[in-house]
Amino acid sequence: MYVCGPTVYDEPHIGHLRSAYVFEVIRNYFQYSGYKVTFVRNVTDVDDKIIEKARAAGGGDLNEEAERVALKYYASYNDALSELGLKAPDKDPKASQHIGDMVRLIERLIEKKCAYPSDGDVYFDIQCFKDYGKLSHQKKEAMLEGVRIDPSEKKKGPLDFALWKKVKEGEPSWDSPWGKGRPGWHIECSAMSMKYLGETFDIHGGGLDLVFPHHENEIAQSECATGKPFAKYWLHHGLITINGHKMSKSLHNYVTLENLPNKSGREVETVQELKFLFLGTHYTAPLDFSEDKMKMAKAVRERFFFFFKGLKKLEGSHAEVINPSVKYQDLFKQAMDDDFNTPQALTVMHQMVDDAWKSNDPKFRLSIGETLKHVGELFGLFPSQEIKQELSAKDQERVKGIEHEIAKRAVARKNKDFKAGDEIRNALKEKGVELQDLPDGSTEWRVI
């Protein structure tokens, strides 16, 4: 599996995190299903945006400044993924370290007359690939309508794209048979994916915004060079908007892991809530981020958190090994086998908690807990440090208040004041807490 990774010119935002998390879940599920996975995610550290950022810094040597920018934001990206609890890919090749592979691929295309040098640049000849547009389902005529022809470009056709760019004064460059320059964006991914996964591999992934022109161009140049199919399957995730608007620094709605709402002092919890937010929308669909949706994700996390806290009371008296439930694992698998349908998988997990709540059998409840932990690992949920940690002061106060109301209700019921008892039950339910009276006279509660 090859996934288009970050262009490292700025701090990673939650769109980058969703992309990384989506493909982490997909990799985990393939491994859970018995597949051996080789996961490659590239790093674009040769790019116009990096050079612009370096130039804006106003330092000395532009080459050194561009390298510094790329290293800084590559480190920021890895730090964010580490905080999210994501594993590293098997390979994370940098474009700057594979220039030779790109040059050799361009040479193959020139030999096949599918690319042509032009005054230090090299362009791919789109006429060489008759199936151009097969991924985005666009016709060449429609593409041409939206193309602006730059008179400074030295290409034969308006849809031809750059494989190699002639050096501009002061910019980072490398030697090539066509003179000093740097690779075009599209050739990077073709060269690196084929180097690590072969000329035909199983899955290529990325954001929906990469379908055209990036992935379309990857297919064209790769299949013209090799004469073989490039990727067997393409997976594209939807993009993130903020309150219905595109993320933009100019709109001051650029959300990173650091400025998530209510994160301060509760890093572990907030990371879990962000994952629940991502899982609640199918990976192919757009996701609109808002504080209200983060509050909903917080409520979901709390529901599972307090369920596990309730199980702690049972573990000591039922020490025998409790096996995960096959029934719920099968339901979970059915959901994930349907194009990684995480919203449906979450529904199964909620059903497990509901069924456990309805049962008075401690062994059944513990079995549900084991099953939840088992499937939750695929999503990076329910880390042991969170389940084992002591309640925060705020949560302790909340629990104390709930138990105080339950005690008041018990007194009311003992005095046959059932109206007052029902009022307490209803008031708690409005606050997201459901009560269950047990045959022995005790009362349990859960977050709903």
The pTM for the full model equals 0.88
Question: Is the same domain home to 282 and 269?
Answer: yes
Question: Is the same domain home to 210 and 277?
Answer: no
Question: Is the same domain home to 85 and 106?
Answer: yes
Question: Is the same domain home to 313 and 420?
Answer: no
**Could you tell me which residues are beta bridge partners of residue 91?**
40
The pLDDT value given to residue 72: 96
218 pLDDT higher than 80: yes
Nearest-angstrom CA–CA distance, 315 and 312: 5
Question: Is the same domain home to 26 and 75?
Answer: yes
Buried b (16+ CB within 10 A) or exposed e, 247-269: beeeeeebbebeebeebeeeeeb
Question: Is the same domain home to 154 and 281?
Answer: no
User: Which has the minimum average pLDDT: 206-220, 301-315, 329-343, 370-384?
Assistant: 301-315
The pLDDT value given to residue 383: 80
Which candidate, 230, 243, 167, places its Cα nearest to that of 204?
A: 230
> Which of 346, 373, 388 delimits the end of a domain?
388
Model confidence over 121-158: pLDDT tens digits?
Answer: 999 999 999 999 999 999 887 787 766 666 666 889 98
Question: Is the same domain home to 67 and 190?
Answer: yes
Within-domain flag for 275 = yes
- When pLDDT is cut at 50, 70 and 90, the band that residue 430 belongs to is confident
> Which of 337, 354, 388 delimits the end of a domain?
388
321 pLDDT higher than 60: no
User: Which has the minimum average pLDDT: 8-22, 89-103, 332-346, 356-370?
Assistant: 356-370
Mean pLDDT in residue range 190-214: 97
- Per the prediction, the chain carries an average pLDDT of 90
Question: Is the same domain home to 94 and 197?
Answer: yes
Model confidence over 293-302: pLDDT tens digits?
Answer: 999 999 999 8
Question: Is the same domain home to 287 and 418?
Answer: no
The pLDDT value given to residue 209: 94
Question: Is the same domain home to 417 and 384?
Answer: no
Structural domain including 432 reads 393-447
43 pLDDT higher than 60: yes
The structure tokens listed for 282 are 């199918």
376 pLDDT higher than 60: yes
Question: Is the same domain home to 104 and 169?
Answer: yes
Q: Cβ atoms within 10 A of the Cβ of 142, count? A: 11
